[in-house]
């Protein structure tokens, strides 16, 4: 939209990021090809679409968690980074379904997720917690996590956030 020439675009880190290589046109002139009105209208429409998609996704996760709770399933999340903090504070803000978050970083063990308050535990704690469901905050690590979980003698269902 700003007049740059896209030289390459590709997904990276398992499709989680989009990288774009762009440059100034050969004549050195970068101009906005859209009028201000078109840009504002397009941005507003995209914002409304994003809001609707986000709201639907949140509702879907809240429904899924409620169903798991109603079935008496023990649910944990894996990964106590920024994505988990955001996810948990939006879909389970009271920490009533997801009671623990697993993280391999020993500096996080024994601490709590800001806001929603889930305790952060080390992977070996899962032997005692016996989760039925593990929500992966980053699906790119699914195979590694599944191997670790199998090594603990557990066989939970995996869901990707």
Tell me the average confidence (pLDDT) per consecutive run of 10 residues in the chain, 161 residues long.
82 85 79 65 88 96 98 98 97 96 97 97 97 96 96 97 94
- In angstroms, rounded to a whole number, what is the distance separating the alpha carbons of residues 98 and 161? 13
What's residue 32's pLDDT? 63
Of 95, 98, 90, nearest in space to 57 by CA: 90
Residue 36 is predicted with a pLDDT of 58
Longest distance between any two alpha carbons in the chain, whole Å: 66
pLDDT at 37: 59
In the chain, what are the domains? 1-33 (no CATH), 40-160 (3.40.50.720)
């Amino acid at each position: 939209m700003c007049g740059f020439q896209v030289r390459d675009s590709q997904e990276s880190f398992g499709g989680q990021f989009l990288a774009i290589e762009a440059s100034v046109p050969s004549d050195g002139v970068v101009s906005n090809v859209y009028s201000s009105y078109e840009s504002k209208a397009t941005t507003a429409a995209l914002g409304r679409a994003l809001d609707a998609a986000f709201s639907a996704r949140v509702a879907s996760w809240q429904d899924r968690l409620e169903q798991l709770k109603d079935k008496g399933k023990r649910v944990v999340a894996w990964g106590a980074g920024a994505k988990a903090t955001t996810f948990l504070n939006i879909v389970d803000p009271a920490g009533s379904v997801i009671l623990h978050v697993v993280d391999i970083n020993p500096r996080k063990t024994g601490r709590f997720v800001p806001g929603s308050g889930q305790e952060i535990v080390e992977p070996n704690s899962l032997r005692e917690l016996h989760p039925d469901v593990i929500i992966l905050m980053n699906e790119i690590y699914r195979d590694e996590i599944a191997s670790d979980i199998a090594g603990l003698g557990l066989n939970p269902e995996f869901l990707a956030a």
